[in-house]
Structure 1
């Protein structure tokens, strides 16, 4: 009877291993582009970020968010949403434009006392319009009801 039980346990372990391999294969094949969405607790307008510039699995998306964004959980409701490749590219552009704007503001603060930077105003206005347009385009395709919010209490 002991050998029979050991054989049965080994069969179950083998079946578990087989199912785990099948799950990994499904996750590898079932990949999408995902956007990181951060909603302030008191607002419904989200901030969007690329999680990856490549298509990845939902499990990998959750892992990245839980590992890298947990410290924002007090300020934001954080989630992810599957998006198209085009929307993923727009989010990447939006993040890059926001970074440019932040760098312009930093430079303006550092050198404003030394010279007149009024010529940058036109550039900044165009940048603001482009950022606003991209925000609207992204908001138009991302529905908050499609967002999967991550629970960081685990």
Structure 2
């Protein structure tokens, strides 16, 4: 049975014409495809002070070397959670939240445009990632890579700071 998270990822993929990658416990949208996959794992959160059905899209950006993907079993379209990964919550970029509302018509297209613009600031290949963030960027504990990743994206982004 599909989870609410996987249903959200499927709806967003359909709405924006994106491909999705399914992992054992979550689904993600492919924002950029290459030697390093740039993924968005969407989640819905209830909006405080709104109506009971008001929701906002939250989630995480994940960056995974394509070669680190392992199918759950031969021929499966689902993958094991990657061992080599770098990522950060999108809540670290407040300017994205203005487009994070979701209603019956779907999500605001500007959210995906802004997410793609943000991830385009990062390299597409592993050697460039390693040069920028260190040789073990994908193998370090998540918190150790999140802080420098967020700092780099905030400094590099032309988006307004909120």
Greater helix share, 1 or 2? 1
Greater C-alpha Rg: 1
Q: TM-score, normalised by structure 1?
A: 0.25
Greater strand share, 1 or 2? 2
Q: TM-score, normalised by structure 2?
A: 0.25
Where relative contact order (Cα < 8 A, 6+ residues apart) is larger, the structure is 1
